[in-house]
């Protein structure tokens, strides 16, 4: 859909009278990120899945500033408006989880309940942010050199060697996920990393205490870094609950799809729509 400064690629699966879930993929993902989970949930919900800026087939028509979290969040809200979606559930993974938290804290009236998978509120100190910006710049340079698909494939293999991903490379569906990641363009991914990476995103830690939306925080048992981050989120935010999912690292919805689906289904099914507010489409 053409919005000012964006041409969003998305899929809207409308099951009549079924509540809507908006899914936001992670870095290097696309609208197929949650396919397996959606198959299981297909009869119970409607779905909106989108390619975020820098990913898949979505095009950014404006300048580089339109890759930032703030502008991307406003673009997502504008898309919801254009589709006449007043309120919905929200699920975000990793980068998409950081965006989902930003959306939740800045547009709380739009989201009934929110699931954050392996997400964070950003970095709390200037020293941490500057170090992360430097680190992301190094990764961006590697991405920029990976224009050839063969080089990009090598970059991806190295990316998933990071400790937060645990043993994901041994998962039977890892190669399928890798092929999906290869559909992205390294130059566009570089812009996403530079302008919506953890170092450049707004810090959301202080705003957590103002949160009015129920949050389910999901982390994998092999992802200690994000267990620690989300434990602190749960301590600061009264409406947040943390679940650590067995047999998974950072990418829970791939490594333990059944448990991922069970948790979000249980969390959403027990939700009550806000009074005098439409629940889905």
Q: What is the pTM of this model?
A: 0.93
Q: Tell me: the pLDDT tens digits for 30-55? A: 999 999 999 999 999 999 999 999 99
Q: Tell me: the pLDDT tens digits for 86-110? A: 999 999 999 999 999 999 999 999 9
- Tokens at residue 9, please? 């690629």
Q: Tell me: the pLDDT tens digits for 127-153? A: 999 999 998 888 888 887 776 556 898
Strands 111-117 and 88-93: parallel
Q: Tokens 């981050």 correspond to what residue?
A: 229
DSSP 211-271: --S-EEEEEETT-HHHHHHHHHHHHH-TTEEEEEETT-SS-HHHHTHHHHHHHHHHHHHT-
- Whether residue 277 has pLDDT greater than 70: no
Q: Tell me: the pLDDT tens digits for 213-264? A: 999 999 999 999 999 999 999 999 999 999 999 999 999 999 999 999 999 9
Do 57 and 87 touch, CB atoms closer than 8 A? no
Phi/psi at 267 (nearest 5 deg)?
-65, -45
Instruction: Give the burial class of 157: count Cβ atoms within 10 A of its Cβ; 0-12 exposed, 13-18 middle, 19 or more buried.
Output: exposed
Give the number of residues written for the chain.
Answer: 281
């Amino acid at each position: 859909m053409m919005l000012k400064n964006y041409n969003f690629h998305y899929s809207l699966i409308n099951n009549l009278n079924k509540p809507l879930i908006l899914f936001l993929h992670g870095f290097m993902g696309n609208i197929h990120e949650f396919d397996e989970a959606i198959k299981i949930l297909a009869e119970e919900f409607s779905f909106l899945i989108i390619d975020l800026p820098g990913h898949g087939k979505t095009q950014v028509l404006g300048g580089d500033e339109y890759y930032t979290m703030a502008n991307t969040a406003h673009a997502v809200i504008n898309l919801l408006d254009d589709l006449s979606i007043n309120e919905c559930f929200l699920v975000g993974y990793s980068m998409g989880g950081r965006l989902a938290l930003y959306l939740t804290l800045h547009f709380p009236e739009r989201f009934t309940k929110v699931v954050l998978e392996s997400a964070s509120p950003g970095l709390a100190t200037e020293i941490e942010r500057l170090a992360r910006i430097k680190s992301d710049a190094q990764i961006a340079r590697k991405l920029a050199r990976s224009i050839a698909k063969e080089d990009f494939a090598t970059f991806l293999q190295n990316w998933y060697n990071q400790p937060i991903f645990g043993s994901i490379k041994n998962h039977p569906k890892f190669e399928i996920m890798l092929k999906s990641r290869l559909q992205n363009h390294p130059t566009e991914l570089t812009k996403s990393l530079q302008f919506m990476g953890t170092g450049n995103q707004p810090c959301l830690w202080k705003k957590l205490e103002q949160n009015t939306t129920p949050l389910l925080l999901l982390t994998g048992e092999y992802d200690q870094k994000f267990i620690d981050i989300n434990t602190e989120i749960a301590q600061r935010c009264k409406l947040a609950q943390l679940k650590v999912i067995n047999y998974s690292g950072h990418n829970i919805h791939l490594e333990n799809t059944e448990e991922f689906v069970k948790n979000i289904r249980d969390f959403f099914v027990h939700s009550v729509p806000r009074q005098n507010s439409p629940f889905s489409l």
